Amino acid sequence: MTLATLAEVLQPALAGRYAVAGLVTLGWEDMRAYVAAAEAENVAVILQAGPGCREHTPLPILGKMFRHLAERSSVPVVAHLDHGYTFDECKEALDSGFTSLMFDGSRKPLSQNIDETAAIAEMAHAAGISCEGEIGFVGYDGGENSAGTDPDEAAQFARDTGVDAMAISVGNVHLQQDKVGGLDEPRIRAIEALTAVPLVIHGGSGVPMAQRTALARTSNVCKFNIGTELRMAFGAAMRAAVNSDPDRFDRVSILKETHDPVVAATRNVLAAFKGA
């Protein structure tokens, strides 16, 4: 059994100068491919159940799916709640067997974000699992704008919440389909100068590969969340499978053809985070 907590995979990454991928899941086919890719690359992986995933599949089912894969994996697998918005939602994930809770209070005033995140972290740690918090709102491509993380506020947040990882807003954007942007490295350096907590980049699909690798090897960014580019790979593979035979209707046979392309795309993502 290689079920792991977030702290158990991020602390070695911080010390060893590499990063671990938090891979956004939507169903059985992609999470199974993610673990296969992690085994092929011999790296730990964080399976993430975000709001979209939870709308489709209940948390207790997702917890069982994640743990089933972890128990049969040769590499560490973290069962992670991504963007939990309430205490009750985080408690349900804990009760469902998740090993890491990400509470997102980034839209709230600093003091409220700290208080609510600290309560989630206390609950998680009492149960022997991990907690990730977010300071500085990360926006959405074509939607809400980001609010960059203030380094002094980040230091206060890390100190007062006791989180195991801290998501920051440094030019990253959710749901970005291209990699023409990049992250604000001076802001990252300013934040890591004030706290030793492992840093997390949400919206990692929009970060150029070279910058991902450089930050993994030279900064305290130990976790990149990747979703959009792998969903694009899945969608392209499924579209090709459907279009190859208009008379096909068996979804299992169609979905099987997504596995190898998603594994290949995921291995490319994971390889960029390895240490030198």
pLDDT at 141: 60
The structure tokens 């790979």 sit at 233
For the structural domain made of 3-271, what CATH number should be given?
3.20.20.70
**Whole-angstrom distance, CA of residue 21 vs CA of residue 34:** 10
Region 111-140: what's the mean pLDDT? 93
Tokens of 200: 């997390």
Just list the catalytic residues: 82
Tokens of 170: 């440094």
Q: Which residues contact 272 (CB under 8 A, 6 or more apart)?
A: 209, 212, 213, 216
In angstroms and rounded to an integer, the radius of gyration of the C-alpha atoms of the chain is 18
CB atoms within 10 A of CB 245: 10
Region 194-202: what's the mean pLDDT? 95
pLDDT at 139: 66
Query: With contact defined as beta carbons under 8 Å apart, do 35 and 77 qualify?
Result: yes
**Whole-angstrom distance, CA of residue 73 vs CA of residue 91:** 26
Nearest Cα residue to 164 out of 53, 54, 38, 13: 13
Could you read off the pLDDT of 111-122 as tens digits, one per residue?
999 999 999 999
Could you read off the pLDDT of 8-62 as tens digits, one per residue?
999 999 999 999 999 999 999 999 999 999 999 999 999 999 999 999 999 999 9
Taking the whole predicted model, whether its pTM rises above 0.75 is answered as yes
Greatest C-alpha distance within the chain: 60
CB atoms within 10 A of CB 17: 14
